[in-house]
Every structure is written in C-alpha cells, then in structure tokens.
Amino acid sequence: MLDQELLDILVCPVSKAPLFWQESSQELICKANGLAYPVRNGIPVLLPEEARTLSDDELRQL
C-alpha cells in the first residue's frame, strides 16, 4: 500500500488528473486517460513510456 499523503499529491504526468491506487494490480490508475502506472518496490514509476493502456473492460470496472 502506498502512503495516503503521497497518493493525495500524485497526478498523471500526461493528463494531470488524480491517480488512484489499485491494489489488485499494484498500479496507479488514471481514469481520465486510461493509463496504468506500475509501482515497483513501493516506488511509483510515473513515466508515460512505462504506463500501460487499460482495456475497455478494465475501464468499465473502475
């Protein structure tokens, strides 16, 4: 789990929208543009080239 204070200030580097922690996939999710950023060893990797695009099914489940 990421620290709530950190989650409160993190935004997507592409859309500048808030990020949401998804524990099941260990990713930070941007609902605005459908990108999922990995968290490795407790460190968010907020590089656009490291993000994966969420499928339509995944977006509907958010």
2's tokens:
């990421």
Tokens 């509907």: give the residue. 60
Q: What is the pLDDT of residue 38?
A: 97
Q: What are the distances in angstroms from CA 11 to CA 7, 32, 45, 47, 57?
A: 8, 11, 12, 12, 23
pLDDT digit string, tens, across residues 3-62: 889 889 999 999 999 999 999 999 999 999 999 999 999 899 999 999 999 999 999 998
Q: From CA 48, how far away is CA 46, in angstroms rounded?
A: 6
Could you give all domains of the chain from N- to C-terminal order, each with its CATH number? 4-61 (2.20.25.10)
Q: What is the pLDDT of residue 32?
A: 96
Q: From CA 14, how far away is CA 4, in angstroms rounded?
A: 21
